A and B are shown apart, each in its own frame.
Chain A
Amino acid sequence: MRVAVIVFPGSNCDRDVAEAIAQVTGKQPIMVWHRETTFFDVDLVILPGGFAYGDYLRPGAMAARSSVMRHVLDHAKAGGLVLGICNGFQVLTEIGLLPGALLPNAGMKFICKPVKLKVTRTSTPFTGSFTKGQYLDIPVAHHDGNYFAQKDELSRLEDNEQVVFRYENNPNGSINDIAGLSNVSGNVLGMMPHPERAMVHGKTRGDGYKLFNTLMEMIR
C-alpha cells in the first residue's frame, strides 16, 4: 500500500500517523509538504490531525485552499482513498469532499479522552473488516468536533448511509452523534477520533491498528 501523508504548517499528528502506517505496512509513507504541486501516485492520502495554519479563519479553511489539495481532490474524484483525521476531517468538509462543517464543541472546551465509537457503515475500505454495531475504543482530541449539517443535507447523508462512526456518549454536541463520515462511494473518510493514538490497547492491538490493517488488506 502506497501512502502519502500531507503536512501543513501546524500539522502535529503527521509523524504519529506515519509511524502507525509504518507499523502496519512495514513501509514509511511519503510525507508531502502542502506546497507540493507535482502529482504523487499513491493508494491512500492521509490528512493528519493538528492545527493547520493555526486554525486561522476557520479550522481547515486555509489548508483546504493550499496547492496540494488540488491533487488530493483529483485523487479522491478518481476513486483514490482519502482519510482525514481530526483537523483532516475539517479540511475535507472545507474543501467539499464531505458535506457539513465542524463547529466548536458545544461545551466550549478542548476535549481529549478515550471515546467509544459505534461502527455504522462497513461498506468502506476503512471499515470492511468490522461488523455493523461493533464498538471501537479510539481517543478524541479536539476543540472543533461538533459536526453540523443543515436539515436537508443531514437527511441526505443519513439516507445514503454515509455515517461511518457514531459516539456512544456524545462528547461535543455533534448532530446525530456523528464521529466519522464518508462520501457516498466510501473512498473518502473523515473522522474526529485519532486511530493513530489507538495502536495498542494494554498488551493487545488497539482498534486504531485494526482500522489501518483493514485498509491495508482491502487494498492488497
Chain B
Amino acid sequence: MKAIVHVQLKPGVLDPQGQAIAGALASLGYDEVTGARQGKVIELELSGTDHALARERVEAMCGQLLANMVIEQFSVEILD
C-alpha cells in the first residue's frame, strides 16, 4: 500500500514562495495566474492491506510530525 500526503499552508497564512512563483509566472507572460500556493507531497510506502486503518495511522502521523497544524493543513490518499 501507498499513502500520498499533501501538506499545504492553511488559507490566510502568508506563502512567500507561492507569491514568488505567481510573480515569476506572470513575468513569463502567463497573465491568467492570479495566485499560487506551494505545498509538499510525501509518499509513504506502507505494509498491510487495511485501507481504513492505514488512513487512521497516516492521519495520526500528520498530526504528530508531517504537518504543523498551527500553519498547515493536510489531505491523505491511500492507494494499493
Contacts and interface: CB of A to CB of B under 8 A. Distances in A.
Interface of A: 57-58, 61, 65, 93-94, 99-101, 103-108, 146, 148-150, 153, 173
28 contacts: A57-B65, A57-B66, A58-B68, A61-B68, A65-B65, A93-B70, A94-B68, A99-B70, A100-B70, A101-B68, A101-B70, A103-B13, A103-B16, A103-B71, A104-B16, A104-B17, A105-B16, A106-B14, A107-B16, A108-B16, A108-B17, A108-B20, A146-B14, A146-B16, A148-B13, A148-B70, A150-B70, A173-B14
Nearest to B69: A101
Size class of the B contact interface (CB-based, 8 Å): 10 to 19
A83 to B, nearest CB: 21
Contacts of B17: 104, 108
Contacts, number: 37
Given A101-B68, A106-B16, A149-B70, 16 more contacts: A57-B65, A57-B66, A58-B68, A61-B68, A94-B68, A100-B70, A101-B70, A103-B16, A105-B16, A108-B17, A108-B20, A146-B14, A148-B14, A153-B70, A173-B14, A173-B16
A35 to B, nearest CB: 18
Contacts of B70: 93, 99-101, 148-150, 153
Contacts of B71: 101, 103, 148
